[in-house]
Structure 1
Amino acid sequence: MNPQEAPLAGPAGGPVVRTVLGDVPPGGLGVCDAHDHLFLRSPLLPGQELADPVAAGAELRAFREAGGGAVVQWTPRGMGRRRGELAALARATGVRLVAATGLHQAVHYDPELLGRIRTELAGLFVEDLTTAPVRAGLIKVAGGFHGLDAHARWVMAAAAEAHHATGAPVAVHLELGTGAPAVLDVLCGEGEVPPDRVILGHPGRSADVRAQLSAARSGAYLAFDGPSRAHHPTDWRLFDSLAALAEAGHADRILLGGDTTTAAARAVGGGPGMPYLLSTLRPALAAELGEEFAARVFVGNPARAFAAHWH
């Protein structure tokens, strides 16, 4: 058996992270890119699909050489997540990979497809998480700009139901970094998902540090991302946000990822790519906020955020 390919069982009663090759103890992730994409397609990105397994493998090897141990892919259902390829890449590169179920915003899908699955969505999520040949380890959903439409509320209700059936963490796309209060109201209020099972993506795409502090006080995780060509305007304010959160006592709520969404943003495509997190961002983070903080953000926090008591 490949050393990564653990059976779907963890320590008795303890939390585990569900990777594409099986469940592993939380400490088995190592250094983690907490939000990225190896495969992705959308009608909103014509001609920019991430669909090349060879390029994905090269990116993972570069990340591994930089000291990386795990990548969490947030690509949900219907957007070309290619779980079989993820399993093959995990075996070939030695990087642990966590896949997603869930749905993105409605604009990424054929309306007829959404209509066909309307009454069975939670069941599809549960199947992906528990019985699929290559299993997902988190549920990805998406909010809108400063609010939630009917589609988002439907998907989040299904995600909450699937969380209660499985224990899986729920990862959320915040549109331009906004809307966290509405998301938390639906998931944690109406859906009764514990806040520490929720991971809010893209908080740094809004410059509102007060909103970030409020989200951290809720108990949710904040997954900052975007060191790529598409999102570079967020880079200059990243450290201010992280310092404010750390000073307020929320260093244990912070995650970091690359969120590579185009081939040009990959290291193998000329962009910073996944290795940038460790070759450039991590040393700068350690110099600014301390080595203990950097280790917490890249190792300790992901181990807790993506682990679950699966059932």
Structure 2
Amino acid sequence: MSADEQSGHPEQGVQVVRTVLGDVAPGELGVCDAHDHLFLTSPQLPGQELDSVEAAARELAAFRAAGGQSVVQWTPYGMGRRAVELPGLARTSGVRIVAATGLHQAVHYTPELLSALRAEGLDALFVRELTQGIGDSGVRAGLIKVAGGFHGLDAHAHWTMTAAAGAHRATGAPIAVHLELGTGVLDVLDLLCGELGVPPGKVILGHLNRAPDLDVHREAAAAGAWLAFDGPSRAHHATDWRMPDAVRALAEAGHSDQLLLGGDTTTAAARSVNGGPGMPYLLRRVRPRLARAVGEELADRMVTVNAGRAFAVAWPT
């Protein structure tokens, strides 16, 4: 573990990634799953919650055995992040973990909770979790997670993205966006980068594999955003078999340095320790398939160099 990671206080102005054990240099992430979940609960996932510490530990061990070295957990506020458990899991597994603040779609929360957050001030909550810690856990988030809707942005998305932009301005934190079935890409960029002034290089667009519209992908990449291909091996999404084509097209257009790869395990049944593909599948099957299509160098860059750069921030001191 580096001195920065032990102290949590990097040299001022240096770009670092904020992990649950402290801040590290981007290159120290190693082989990174850029979008996944160790814990996740929602009324939308009855009976499939990711809420077992023991299962999370086993999944991390399996990921580590497959060559994984870091995981970015996109689970936002109010969805069972279990932040207090993350440092112990990181130490035991040897896998670096990055936690998130932010807010998902309204359907994942009660009206009472959303009313309370409006009264508190959402951007203030995000800033506090990025700079001071999540609740009483002492764990600081390293990114802001928000969500769009299906081919559009509702009032809730406008509220959460406006708050995320404010928190970004205060901290420099990257904003990771759940795109519903991979749609609404350009609406998100119009709002976050156009209206709210967030630099495109601080926006990470998730689930692009679910809507493999190559023209939209190229437009988003040309704007300067990060493009995450995550959630592989889902039979009802155009994922594994279309993703190499999308990556190849973006690389040929000059956007190799903006591409990320993630697993996005969202249900207990999807975990490898429960018989699903889980986090190891990303390295066991997806990465080799991608390497055959676009070459080892690009496949490696997506899970190492690019991930470190995407989540690196010169945090305020």
Q: TM-score with structure 2 length normalisation?
A: 0.95
* Root-mean-square deviation over aligned CA pairs: 1.5
1:264 is aligned to 2:269:
yes
Residues of 2 paired with 1:266 and 1:4: CA distance?
A: 32
Partner of 1:126: 127
Q: Which runs of 5+ in 1 are unaligned?
A: none
Change (3 A) 1:230 1:142: farther
User: 1:228·1:271 contact (CA, 8 Å) conserved in 2?
Assistant: no
**1:228 CA displacement:** 3.5
Preserved CA contact (<8 Å) 1:2 1:91: no
Could you give the per-residue CA deviations for residues 185-231 of structure 1, whole angstroms, max 9, x where no partner exists?
Answer: 11112221100000000011112111111111111101111224465
Runs of 4+ in 1 over 3 A off after TM superposition: 1-5, 228-233
CA-CA distance at 1:264 after TM superposition: 1.2
Aligned length: 311
Q: Distance in 2 between matches of 1:300 and 1:234?
A: 23
Q: 3-state DSSP class of the match of 2:101? A: strand
- Provide the rounded CA distance (Å) in 1 between the counterparts of 2:80 and 2:65: 26
Structure 2 gap ranges (5+)? none
Residue 232 of structure 1 and its aligned partner are, at CA, apart by: 5.2
Aligned residue in 2 for 1:227:
232
For the residues of structure 2 that align with 1:183 and 1:262, how far apart are their CA atoms?
26
Residue 85 of structure 1 corresponds to: 85
The whole-number CA distance in structure 2 between the counterparts of 1:163 and 1:106 is 21
Q: 1:230 to 1:116 in 2, by over 3 A?
A: farther
Query: Structure 1 78/213 Cα, relative in aligned 2: closer, same or farther at 3 Å?
Result: same
Residue 188 in 1 paired to residue 193 in 2?
Answer: yes
Output the CA distance in 2 between the equivalents of 1:4 and 1:61.
24
Give the aligned residue type for 1:69. Q
What is the CA–CA distance in structure 2 between the aligned matches of 1:10 and 1:160, rounded to whole Å? 24
Taking the TM superposition and a 5 Å limit, the aligned residue runs for 1:1-311 are 5-119=5-119, 120-132=121-133, 133-229=138-234, 233-311=238-316
2-structure distance, mates of 1:66, 1:253: 24
The aligned amino acid for 1:59 is E
Secondary structure of residue in 1 paired with 2:204: strand
Contact 1:41 1:50 in 2 (8 A): yes
- Percent identity, aligned pairs only, is 67
The CA deviation at 1:302 is 0.4
| 3-state SS of 2:307 partner | helix
1:6 offset after TM fit, Å? 2.3
8 Å contact kept, 2:176–2:204:
yes
Task: Determine if contact 2:260/2:306 at 8 Å carries over to the other structure.
Answer: yes
Q: Is the 8 A contact 2:209 2:238 kept in 1?
A: no
State the alpha-carbon separation in 1 of the partners of residues 233 and 143 from structure 2: 24
Paired amino acid for 2:97:
L
